Amino acid sequence: MRNSTSTEVVAATTKAATAAIVTAATTEVERAGWLRALADVLDANAAELIEIADRESHLGVPRLTGEVARTSGQLRLFADVILEGSYLEVIIDHAEPDAAPPRPDLRRMLRAIGPVAVFAASNFPFAFSVLGGDTASALATGSPVIVKAHPGHEDLSARTAELAIGALRQAGAPDGTLGIVYGMDAGSQLVTDPRIAAASFTGSLRGGRALYDLAAARPAPIPFYGELGSLNPVVITAAAVETRGAELAAGLVGSFTLGVGQFCTKPGVVFVPAGVGAEGAGFEQLVVDALPAPASAPMLDERIASAFAAGMQVIETHASVRVLSAPGSVASGSGSAGPLVGSPRDRLPLVGSPLVGSTTVADLLANADTLLEERFGPFTLLVSYRDASEVIEAIAAIGGSLTGTVHAEATDDIAAITDALARTCGRVLFAGWPTGVSVAWSQNHGGPWPSTTASIHTSVGATAVRRFLRPFAFQSAPANLLPAALRDGNPLGIPRRVDGVLGRA
């Protein structure tokens, strides 16, 4: 396991701070070139990088191949975002001496915040790692990035960083635009280093909260954008179960077992109507019937496998939960983290077959501290409800989530349930399942605490750049000192609001 020294961390942040002076003054065309160069080098070396990633994460070549495509596509998207220009939020109000009080010439835009610490995630070794969305969105703004590599894929991180730094250098980016450090101590030091202006994190609630507190306790606190944990509630109506119960059960199983349940958007709590099922079969049985044949699958690392095993032991012994599994499954219990095989580098932590818990809203609320804890792995909890008021009360108890999902029929009145989900989730789906996050201009991947530390932002989609920008205004400034985005005549041809009117002219 790699561990950067304190001296190495200081060297990285010092280089990033020096580079920030240059990167903040670069044009969108220059930075778009950097992002496209990074996308190209990722695609060109995909085979080598996927081999390393599969060895370290056990996620499989098909999944990793798709993730590389998503990552390079995301880099190119942010190139398009900054060239389009509206991300700058330019507002110009010309002087109006006759206003009460008189108004000076005011010109406002967003500018790069400065060096950013990016903490890579365990479950996405490409899309939320060295060249993931946080790095792409920060570099797009002109903010240098120092990545704290995840210990679960350090070899991949090192090789990706090596290729990326070379590509940036060839594309004309200054030295220090991208850096990388390793180890827990290095991560803590990054967050407290006075040269770091913001930090982003995807991981556990416990780890993220500790870093969040460090960021807030600094003499000069900084923004900390943490994605920490999410239960992603699903509500299924009686009409939906009666109409397409088997289809919904299969969709749910496919979603909560995808990637061995190691997705931040995994549906962890599913509200189902009590005593309703297609042709007399309760929804619980439909889910059991849809579970895959018993088989163990490798998880990302020993720590995650052990935590999942411990969590399943709590669930299986809880008086308010009935555990469901496919016929022939062996309950996981303390033994779900199976034998480790191969060399220390390649050994595969194993888990048992997917499990489903069943309880009621009353028992869920009475045991919320235990039953509403996120279980990172192939487990979901079915919660039977009697009416919409029970669901709404339970949704409030769950707290913040990245997503909420409703499966209903056209005849259902779901307005109150939808409103309850909208109050506590960052994205509400009315078809499909929450696993799988499209990278698009309109995407929102965030939510109230504890899903994130900053519910007003997203970590996926075009507006992710907003996290690494700060507003800045010029008042009565000489024309020659204004950046091109704020000059009369709109030389960049970007969307701007001038004297209250939005346009490009």
Residues of the chain with pLDDT > 90, as a percent, come to 87
The band of 328, judged by pLDDT with boundaries at 50, 70 and 90, is: low
First to last CA, the chain: 55
**E strand or H helix at 77:** helix 61-84
Same domain, 202 and 243: no
Res. 72: pLDDT tops 80: yes
Domain that holds residue 257: 234-429
- 479: in domain: yes
- 364: in domain: yes
Q: 390, 412, 429 — which closes off a domain? A: 429
Residues 240 and 248 sit within 8 Å (Cβ to Cβ): yes
Same domain, 217 and 243: no
CA atoms within 13 A on the CB side of 263: 25
Say which CATH number the domain at 20 has: 3.40.605.10
Same domain, 223 and 238: no
Residues 38 and 403 sit within 8 Å (Cβ to Cβ): no
Same domain, 21 and 153: yes
Same domain, 253 and 216: no
Q: Which of 204, 180, 183, 186 is nearest to 300 (CA)?
A: 204
Give the global pTM: 0.93
Residues 321 and 359 sit within 8 Å (Cβ to Cβ): yes
The per-residue pLDDT for range 163-216, each reduced to its tens digit, is 999 999 999 999 999 999 999 999 999 999 999 999 999 999 999 999 999 999
Tokens 């888990």 identify what position?
351
Same domain, 154 and 10: yes
Is 425 designated active site?
no
Exposed e or buried b per residue across 302-336, where buried means at least 16 C-beta atoms within 10 angstroms of its C-beta: eebbbbbbebbbebbebebbebbbbeebeebeeeb
Name beta bridge partners: 357: 323, 381
The per-residue pLDDT for range 411-421, each reduced to its tens digit, is 999 999 999 99
Whole-angstrom distance, CA of residue 268 vs CA of residue 273: 17
Same domain, 59 and 202: yes
Whole-angstrom distance, CA of residue 466 vs CA of residue 154: 29
- 26: in domain: yes
Same domain, 219 and 252: no
The per-residue pLDDT for range 131-166, each reduced to its tens digit, is 999 999 999 999 999 999 999 999 999 999 999 999
Among candidate residues 28, 56, 67, 264, the one labeled active-site is: 264
Is 374 designated active site?
no
Whole-angstrom distance, CA of residue 169 vs CA of residue 292: 48
Same domain, 211 and 238: no
- 437: in domain: no
Same domain, 34 and 165: yes
pLDDT at 349: 53
- 382: in domain: yes
Say which CATH number the domain at 394 has: 3.40.309.10
Average pLDDT over every residue of 124-135: 98
Res. 278: pLDDT tops 70: no
Average pLDDT over every residue of 2-6: 97
Same domain, 14 and 155: yes
Residues 285 and 274 sit within 8 Å (Cβ to Cβ): no
Among candidate residues 28, 154, 227, 390, the one labeled active-site is: 227
Residue 102: count other Cβ atoms within 10 Å of its Cβ.
Answer: 9
Res. 231: pLDDT tops 90: yes
Same domain, 473 and 325: no
- 447: in domain: no
Whole-angstrom distance, CA of residue 246 vs CA of residue 227: 33
- 440: in domain: no
Tokens 């990793």 identify what position?
64
Q: How many domains does the chain have?
A: 2
- 81: in domain: yes
pLDDT at 505: 66
